[in-house]
Copies of this chain bind each other. A is one copy, B any other.
Amino acid sequence: MSDDISGRPASPARRSLLRAGIAAGVALPAGALAARAQGIAAGTPDPLITEVQDWARYTGDGVDATPYGMPIHFEDQVVRRNVPWLTADPISSINFTPIHELDGTITPAGCAFERHHSGAIELSKPDYRLMINGLVDRPLLFTYDDLTRFPRQAGVYFCECAANSGMEWAGAQLNGVQFTQGMIHNMEYVGVSLKTLLDEAGVKPEGKWVYVEGADASSNGRSIPIEKALGDVLVAFKANGEALRKEHGYPVRLVVPGWEGNMWVKWLRRIEVTDAAVESREETSKYTDTMADGTSRKWTWVMDAKSVITAPSPQVPIAHGPGPLVITGLAWSGRGAVTRVDVSTDGGKSWQTARLAAPGVPMAMTRFYFDLNWDGSELLLQSRAIDQTGYVQPTKDALRAIRGENSVYHNNAIQTWWIKPDGSAENVEVS
């Protein structure tokens, strides 16, 4: 994977008007699959199958080689990446999940994106404390072991940074889905319901909000309405089976299903029940949406339905000629389950329903596939998600009509990849 796709300086928007002249591929009729496969009888013998290779001649690694394994070195390109011009200060910055290389729905913890306000801290379980104070009957202090004694919940949830796709508001900027939509992960979390802990403390009638903060230097304090806090929020200590990784808040983080990732406070240290939002530095200096008329929208917690085609895309161009092509991507919604994903090959003029790998799960990622018999001509690939509320993922133009071009956050617009006859892909816009 060459480095020249890892981002480019913020330049004037490269908004291409490409709708005209694109001949879409033909959708693959069921039963007509004809992938290129070499007939053994017809061709020259392939020594990789007819000759004994070294890997079949010698034995491989034993079971004591890797007590905890890493990916094979052939996959060294599947890593989190940052964007130099975005990441002037790596302590207070972001990196991106390589979603272009992944399939299925689970994000491996090892390459799930990071966003820190003051770096990833090292906090041991013996040193861990969680305080609940404020408008409660009984202020409480929990050790890590205390938390493990409460009834647990488990669930798969996506975590999306409010700034995901933020650089794209003013035009197509970054040439890779890792950079345009990669501030997201999807993991199976296990923890204790925040409601269980708040009930233990006893929320007073005047308690209308909770203010949650982390143990890191930024504290990243955020205010959450009491209705959500007493709903599906988890105080989580496991992700994808194992302990949280250091960079994801070890040993304890908040999981706020469907809501913007900055509320999923890492290294969770304190929960104060309050009668009003605190309006802290970390929740007012960021995450506020500038609207088309220049005013600001104060709170945007829920991440609206969104989808993106992860492959083919600029970092993973089509490596073969015309014929069967698997188009795949991810869809999610903070308001519930994704019920349908549509794919367009002509920049949104026409749509066809994609195949979901499994029925949508509320506030979790859904994998979709669209099998195309590609004729080798240009495509303008798009996807749009529809969730259980009937909400349809909007076009960039529709979103800009409401929000203008000065926003940074909450961009859930339809993404377009311009696929060229050589199989390469470019981030473009159509209008």
Task: Tell whether A391 is near chain B: CB-to-CB under 8 Å.
Answer: no
* Interface pair A35/B216, CB less than 8 Å apart: no
A244 to B58, CA, bound (A): 21
Question: When each residue 98-111 of chain A gets 1 if its CB lies under 8 Å from chain B and 0 otherwise, what string results?
Answer: 00011111111111
Q: Quick check: B152 and A103 within 8 Å, CB to CB?
A: yes
A246-B139 contact given A124-B74, A217-B56, CB 8 Å threshold = no
- B residues less than 8 Å from A319 (CB atoms): 145
- Contact, CB under 8 Å: B323 / A59: no
- The complex is assembled from copies of this chain, and their number is 2
- Complex Cα distance A367/B154, Å? 8
Given contacts A55-B215, A59-B119, contact A72 B358 (CB under 8 A): no
A123 at the interface (CB under 8 A from B): yes
Distance A119 CA – B141 CA, assembled complex (angstroms): 50
The distance in angstroms between the C-alpha atoms of A70 and B43, with both chains bound, is 45
Which of A188-196, A257-265, A282-290 is near enough to bind chain B?
A188-196
Is A95 on the interface with B (CB-CB < 8 A)?
yes
**What's the nearest-Cβ distance from chain B to residue A81, in Å?**
7
A residues 349-391 in Cβ contact with B at 8 Å: 355, 357-358, 367, 369, 371
Q: Kindly list chain B residues whose C-beta atoms are within 8 Å of the C-beta of A91.
A: 59-62
Q: Which residues of B contact A114 (CB under 8 A)?
A: 63
CB distance from A59 to the nearest CB of B (A): 4
| Docked CA distance A320–B147 (Å) | 12
Docked Cα-Cα span, A283 to B367, in Å, equals 36
Cβ-defined partner of A71 (8 Å) among B64, B68, B95: B68
Shortest distance between the CB of A323 and any CB in chain B (Å): 7
Which of A10-18, A165-173, A291-299, A324-332 is the interface stretch?
A324-332
Cβ of A40 and Cβ of B141 under 8 Å apart? yes
Which of B38, B120, B190 has a CB less than 8 Å from the CB of A104?
B190
A 38-58 to B, binary, CB cutoff 8 A, 1 in contact else 0: 111101001011000101111
- A59–B123 Cα distance when bound, in Å, is 12
Which of A63, A120, A246, A326 has the most chain B CB atoms closer than 10 A to its own CB?
A63
Tell me if A78 and B242 are in contact (CB < 8 A): yes
Can you list 15 contacts pairing A with B, beta carbon distance less than 8 Å? A37-B146, A37-B200, A38-B141, A39-B141, A40-B141, A49-B129, A55-B122, A59-B216, A60-B121, A61-B121, A62-B93, A62-B119, A72-B250, A107-B241, A149-B325
